[in-house]
Structure 1
Amino acid sequence: MRARRFATVTSVGAVIAATALMLSGCFAGPGDAVDESAPAAQPQVEIAQGELTGVATAAGVEYLGIPFAKPPVGDLRWRAPEAPEPWAGVLDASKPGPDCAQTVNGDSDGSLSENCLYLDVYAPEGAEDEKLPVVVFLHGGGYTAGTPNIYDGRNFAATGESVTVIPAYRLGLFGFFATPATAAEGEYGAQGNWGMLDQQQALRWVQENIESFGGDPDNVTIVGESAGGGAVCFQLASPTAEGLFDKAVIQSMGCGPGAPAADTTEFTTQWGCAADDADCLRAVPTATIVGTPAGFGDVYPASGGPDQPVGPLEAAADGTLADVPIMMGVTRDEWLGFASAQYPLDPVEYEAGVTAQFGPLAPQVLELYPADAGEDPIFASGWLSGDSMFACPSVAGADTFADAGRSVYFYEFADETTPGWRSLGDPFPPSTIALGATHTTELQYLFNYAAAQRSLNEEQRALADQMVDLWLSFVQTGTPSVEGGPEWTTFAEGREVMELKTADAGGLEMVDTFETAHNCGFWNGLG
C-alpha cells in the first residue's frame, strides 16, 4: 500500500459554513484579485489565464474556484461555453466557487448563481515539475443538483502520485435545454447539452493548464458517479471529447441508449416566451427557472447532434466509442436509501405497486422480490429498483463495451455498515434497520463526500486506502491492482467482480456470483 501524507473526511459543517459565508459576501469570491505586494505565504502557480494563489494543507496544495470558462450569463445562457478571459494581478484561488443554480437538496443549500463554471485542483506539494496522472471527477445529482464543493481530491493528493480536478457544470434547465431559438443559433442548440459541453471545456482547460500543477495532460481519467457516471457515458460516445481523456470510470450508472432532446415547450409557455424568442428566454429571471419543476424526464443528455450523434451503447456497436479502458461498478444496495423514504411500507401496497408497474410480469418479479425479503417491504422495493436500474444495466453495458474490444473492470462496493447520506438522518427510523451500501456511499471512501452522515471507522478507512490505491493504479496504468489484494481480471475473462469490503467482512474478493445475486439473468433477458 502506498504511503500517505494525509487523509481526511471533510466535515459537513465546515462545507455548509464556508458556503454560507461565500453566499453572504463575507469573504472574497473566486475571480477576485489579491494584492501582489502581500507576502507570498500561499502556494502560487501561473497558468494560461494568469497567476493564482491557493492553499497548503497536510495533504498537499489546493487551488479552488478557478474559472475554466466565461460566465454563461446574459447572451451566453444556453450557448456552448467559451474559454475564460485572462485576469490582471494574482487570482485568489483559496475559496470555492458558488454552486450552480439549483433548488435546496441533499447536496446543496441551493443557489441562484449562473456564474458557476469554476473548478478545484488538488495536487501533492512540490509536484509542479512532475507529470502525474490526472483524475477529473464529475459529480452526480440527477443532472439537476450537486456541486464540486462537497468533495475533494485530498486522498489522491496525499499519495503524492496524482492530481485531481473537480469541475462544476450547468444543471437543470440551465444545463439541458433546447428550443427552436437555441437550435437556430448554432450546431449544439438542437440537443442543448450545455452541461456536458461545460465538462468538455473543463477537460480542455486541463489539457492547457494541468502541467502547471504537476499533472500529465496525456494521462487523464474521467471519473463520474450517478449522473456524473452518465456524463462519463456521454463523453465516451462524444466525438467532440476525442483526445480529452485516456481512461474512464463509471460509478453507479448503467450506460443506456441515446435519446432525443426533451420537449421544452411547456417551460417556455410558463415563462411567457415563444419557443423561438431567444431574447425573451434569456431575460427570464434565474429564480424563475430554478423554481420551475423539472426532473429526469425533462433534464438529461440528448443524442442526435455533433456532440453525441448516438448514445454510448450504439457508439460501442458502430465502433465510435472512445477506445479507452473502462472501470465500472455499483453499490450493493443502490436504491435502498431512496426506498427507505416509504418506511413503513405496507406489504399489500408494495405488491399492488409491483403489479401496476410490471403487469403480467408481476408474479415473476414478486417471486424474486417478495414483500418479506427483508425486515420491511422497503428492502424488496429497494433491491428490485437497484437491480433493475443500476446493477443489471451496468452488466449489460459492460458486455457491450467488452464486445467492442474495450477492457472493462467491474466492481461492487459492498460495505454493509457504511454511513448513509445526511438527508436520511442518523439513524434513519428505526435505528435497527441498516440500509447497507446504498447509492453514493462509496464516495466518502474516495472523494471525502461531505454529505455523508458520519466519519469512517478504522476498518472503513483501511478500505478507503485500498480503494484509492485501486482507482489510482487504474488511472496510472489502465489496470486496477492493489498490493496484497486479489488479481482484478477483466469482466469478459470470467465474469468476475471485485467486491469491495472491509477486512472484518472478508476484505477484497473477486466473486462470480454478482449476476445471480442481482437477478441479472431475469432483468437483462427482458430485452
Structure 2
Amino acid sequence: MATFREPCLRDLDQRGFIQGATIKKSSREDLCHYFGGIPYALPPLGPFRWRLPRPLPTCYRYGTRGNPGRFTGGTGVCPQSATLMGTTGDGPSTLWDEDCLQLNIWIPAGEPPANGWPVFFYIHGGFLQVGSPNDINPVGLLSESPFRAIVVAPAYRLNLFGFLGSRELQSAAEDEPTGNFGFWDQRLALEWTYKNISYFSGDASNITVGGYSAGSHSAFKQLAYDLYQPDSKAVIRRCVMWSNGPGMEPKTLSSAQAQFDELLEHLNIPSSLPTVDKIGKLKSIPARQLLAAASTMKRHQFRATLDDVFVPFDLYAEIDSGAFGARMRSRNVALLMGECRDEHFLYGTWHPPEDSLASVVQRLRADYPAPAVDALVAHYYPNGRLPAECADWRDAFGRIYADVQIHALERGFVDKLVLGGAGDLVFRYRIEWRARCVDNIFPPEWGVTHSSDMPIWWWGNAGTPGPLGDDEKKLVEKAFVGLFGSFVQGDVAKVREEWGTQGHKEVRRLKADGNVDVWYDEMWEQGLEVWDVLRSVGKAEAGNKREVDPKAKL
C-alpha cells in the first residue's frame, strides 16, 4: 500500500507540544496517526545504568507550539548482541542506544468514541534479550481491519542491561530493588500511558496489556504486579498473552549472583574489589564490550530475579493456591492466551546446544535454575536417551524449551486460574494455519512455528514477513482479528458469546485448512505434569529465597 505522511501536532498540556505524522493513503484518506520515540523516562545512562527508571520531572517539556518536539521516527534500540528472525538483532550498532526508554504510539484515524479510543499496550518479544517495538507496523490493522484501538509499544532495557542482578548492585542502589529493570521500565511506560493517553484521544480506563513471546511473559509479570496494587493504582483491564506463559519460578538472588560473578570474571574485574569499585568499573565499560563478554558466558541469558518487590517470593505459591485467580476474578480481568502448533522449530534455533544431552543440560541452565533443569531432564529423559519423536538433541532442546515457555506452563497456569474462580475469564486459542507470507522468513518444514502467527495479529505487518492476501484477510478477520478487536475494546461478553468454547479444556482453533473449530485439549494432562514437576522444585527451593538480605551492605 503506497502511503505518505503529513505533520500531526498534539498539545500535551503541561508537557508541551509534539509533532508526529498522519499516515495517508490519499489527500482525502487518513489511515492512522503516528508518534514515535517519545521519552517516558529519563535516560538510564552513566550512574543510572542498572538503576530503576526515573520518571520525567514535572518541569519536563517535549517542545513548544512554535518549536514542537518532533517524534516521527522510532525508539532507541537497547544494545543487543544476538540475532533472531523478526528482531532487530545484530543490526548496525549505530541503532543501539542505552537511552531507549521511549515508546511509539499508533492512533486510528477518524472520530474516537465518546470516552476515547481503547488502548492496547503491546510489549515486544525477543527472549528478554533482543528486539524492538520498531519492528511492528499496525497501519493495515488500524485502517483495514475491525481492530480500532490505540497501540502503544514501549522499548525497555534488555539482556544484561535489563536483568542483571547481584548483591553488589543491590547495595549500590541503596533502598531500590534490583535485577528486574526491564520490568520496571515497562511499568513506568504503562503508568506514563495511563497519565497521558487522553492527549492522544485514548481512554485511560480501558487499557489492555499484551505481548508476544517474552512480551507475553512480560505482560503476565505486569498483570501480576498490577493485581497486587491497591484498586486506586490498578491500570490493567485485560491481558493478552500470545505464545508464552508465566514461565517457571525466577532465579534467586544467589543464582543471579553466580551469573554476575561470571560476568566479572569474563571482564577481568577482580572479585576482591570493594563493591563501589566493581560497580564503577561495570558502569564505565562500553555496551559492546559488555555484550561481547556476556556472549561467551555459560549463563548468557539474563532473566528475572525474585526480588520480593516486582516479583514477590510467594507469587507462584499464590498462583498454585488459586489466590492469583481470585484476584483476577475480583478485578474482572479477562485473559486471551494461546499457542502455535509447532512452536519448537524456532525455539530450537535460539543459542542451540551441541548434539548431546549434556549440552542440552548446559544450555537450559543458561535460562533456568539448575534444580529445575535437573527435574525437567529427569522427567523428559528418565533413561538419558533421545526420545523417539526427536530428530536429535537440538530438536529435543527446542521441544522442551517450547514446553516450558509455552505449552506446558500455559496449561498449568490456566488450571490454577480455574481453581481461583477465574476460568470463565480465560479465552484460549490454537493456531495451525500459516499465511503465505511466512514463507519469506521460515522454511515450510517448520510449519506453524513460534511467531509464524504474527501476520494474523498484525494484519500482515505491512512489510515483515509480508502482506496478507485478500482471501487471507477475510480468513483471519473471521477467525481471530474481529474478536481480538472486541476484546481490546472491552466487549468481553461478545467475545464469550462467539468464542465457541465450553470450559477451560476447550480451545478455539484455526485449522490448517483455514476453518475454525473447537479443539478438546489433548495436551492438558501432559502440561499439568510438567507444571507439577517444576512447582515441586519451586516449593523445595522456597527456603532459599530469603537466604541473603538483599539490602545488606557489602
Specify the TM-score bucket, using the shorter chain as the normaliser: 0.7 to 0.9
Which has the larger displacement, 398-407 or 328-337? 398-407
Q: Does 1:44 align with 2:9?
A: yes
User: 1:134 corresponds to which residue?
Assistant: 119
Once the two structures are TM-superposed, the CA of residue 336 in structure 1 deviates from its matched residue by 1.5
Q: Give 2:194's match in structure 1, choosing from 200, 207, 210.
A: 207
Match of 2:158 in 1: 171
Which residue is 2:488 aligned to? Answer: 475
Say whether residues 1:314 and 2:305 are aligned partners: no
Residue 333 of structure 1 deviates from its aligned partner by 0.6
For residue 495 of structure 1, what is the aligned residue in structure 2?
505
4+ residue stretches of structure 1 with deviation over 6 A? 340-343, 349-354, 363-368, 376-381
2: CA distance, partners of 1:441 / 1:9: 25
1:460 and 1:501 map into 2 onto residues whose CA distance is 13
Q: CA deviation at 1:177?
A: 1.7
Where in structure 2 are the equivalents of 1:99-248 lying within 5 Å?
99-106=77-84, 107-108=87-88, 109=91, 111=93, 112-127=96-111, 130-158=115-143, 159=146, 161-186=148-173, 189-238=176-225, 239=228, 242-248=233-239
Secondary structure of the residue aligned to 1:224 is strand
Could you tell me which residue of structure 2 aligns to residue 34 of structure 1? Answer: none
Other-structure match for 2:427: 409
- Preserved CA contact (<8 Å) 1:481 1:487: no
Contact 2:294 2:300 in 1 (8 A): no
Relative distance call for 1:43 and 1:292 in structure 2 (3 A) is same
Deviations along 1:388-417, one digit per CA (max 9) or x if unpaired, are 542121111111122223221111122145
Bigger Cα displacement from structure 2, 392-401 vs 505-514: 505-514
Q: Which amino acid aligns with 1:314?
A: A
Q: Which amino acid aligns with 1:327?
A: L
Please name the residue that 1:62 is paired with.
Answer: 34
| Partner in structure 2 of residue 267 of structure 1 | 263
Question: What's 1:292 paired with?
Answer: 293
**Larger deviation, residues 391-400 vs 467-476:** 467-476
Which residue of 1 is the match for residue 539 of structure 2? none
Counterparts in 2 of 1:265 and 1:95: CA distance versus 1, 3 Å = same
Quote the Cα distance in structure 1 between the aligned partners of 2:359 and 2:51.
45
Describe the shift of the 1:368–1:387 C-alpha distance in structure 2 as closer, same or farther (beyond 3 A).
Answer: farther
5 Å matches for 1:317-356?
A: 317=321, 319=323, 323=331, 324-339=333-348
**How far has the Cα of 1:201 moved from its partner?**
0.8
Q: 3-state DSSP class of the match of 1:70?
A: coil
Give the distance between the partners of 2:526 and 2:383, measured in 1 at CA: 11
Residues 296-335 of structure 1: CA deviation (Å, up to 9, x unaligned): 7641122233222136533333735554221111111111
Aligned partners of 1:368 and 1:523: how far apart in 2?
Answer: 16
Could you tell me which amino acid in structure 2 is paired with residue 105 of structure 1? Answer: T
How far apart are the structure 2 equivalents of 1:525 and 1:175? 29
What is the count of residue pairs matched by the alignment?
472
Output the aligned Cα RMSD: 3.8
1:455 aligns with 2:467: yes
Rounded to whole Å, the distance in 2 between the matches of 1:384 and 1:130 is 45
Q: 1:361 to 1:138 in 2, by over 3 A?
A: closer
Which residue of 252, 261, 265 corresponds with 2:243? 252
Distance 2:43 2:194 in 1: 20
Structure 2 distance, partners of 1:9, 1:439, is 30
Q: Map Cα deviations across residues 20-47 of structure 1 (whole Å, 9 max, x no partner).
A: xxxxxxxxxxxxxxxxxxxx95221122
For the structure 1 residues 370 and 57, does the alpha-carbon distance in structure 2 shift closer, same or farther, using more than 3 Å as the test?
A: same
Question: More helix by proportion, 1 or 2?
Answer: 2
Greater shift, 124-133 or 79-88, is seen at 124-133
State the SS of the aligned residue for 1:222: strand
- In structure 2, the residue corresponding to 1:146 is in which secondary structure? coil
Aligned equivalents of 1:191, 1:311: Cα separation in 2: 18
Change over 3 Å in CA distance of 1:95–1:437 after alignment to 2: same
Q: Classify 1:513/1:172 alpha carbon distance in 2 versus 1 (closer, same or farther; 3 Å).
A: closer
Contact 1:131 1:211 survives alignment (8 Å): yes
Structure-2 change in CA distance of 1:359 and 1:218 (3 Å) = closer
Secondary structure of 2:134's partner? Answer: helix
- Counterpart CA distance in 2 for 1:507 and 1:188 is 55
Q: How does 1:77-92 map to 2 (within 5 A)?
A: 77-84=49-56, 85-88=60-63, 89-92=67-70
Shift of 1:96: 0.9
Q: Does 1:94 align with 2:72?
A: yes
Q: What is the distance in 2 between the residues matched to 1:169 and 1:97?
A: 10
1:169-227 CA-partner distances (Å, limit 9, x unpaired): 00111111223343124477553211101101111111111011121111111111111
Q: Do the aligned partners of residues 125 and 419 (structure 1) sit closer, same or farther apart at CA in structure 2, a change above 3 Å counting?
A: closer
TM-score normalised per structure 1: 0.78
Distance in 1 of aligned mates of 2:396 and 2:379:
19
- 2:451 pairs with one of 440, 444, 447: 440
| Further displaced range: 146-155 or 168-177 | 146-155
Paired residues of 1:414 and 1:500 also in contact (CA < 8 A): yes
C-alpha distance 302-342 of structure 1, shift in aligned 2 (>3 A): closer
CA contact 1:481–1:488 (8 Å) conserved in 2: no
How big is the shift at 1:455?
A: 3.4
Query: What is the CA-CA distance between 1:49 and the residue it aligns to?
Result: 2.1
- Residues 441 and 452, structure 1, Cα contact 8 Å, conserved in 2: no
For 1:246 and 1:526, the matched residues in 2 are separated by: 32
Q: Which runs of 5+ in 1 are unaligned?
A: 1-7, 11-39
Identity %: 23
1:276 counterpart = 2:275: yes
Give distance in 2, aligned partners of 1:378 and 1:310.
33
- TM-superposition CA deviations, 1:442-495 (whole Å, max 9, x none): 222223557844433344323433422222211222627569955245xxx251
Cα distance change on mapping 1:483 and 1:399 into 2, 3 Å:
closer
1:21-32 paired onto structure 2 within 5 Å: none
Which 10-residue stretch deviates more, 155-164 or 399-408? 155-164
SS in structure 1 of the partner of residue 191 of structure 2: helix
Q: Is the 8 A contact 1:420 1:438 kept in 2?
A: no
Unaligned runs of 5+ in 2: 25-30, 362-373, 535-554
Deviations 1:65-109 (A, max 9, x none): 111111111122111111233233301111112211112513111
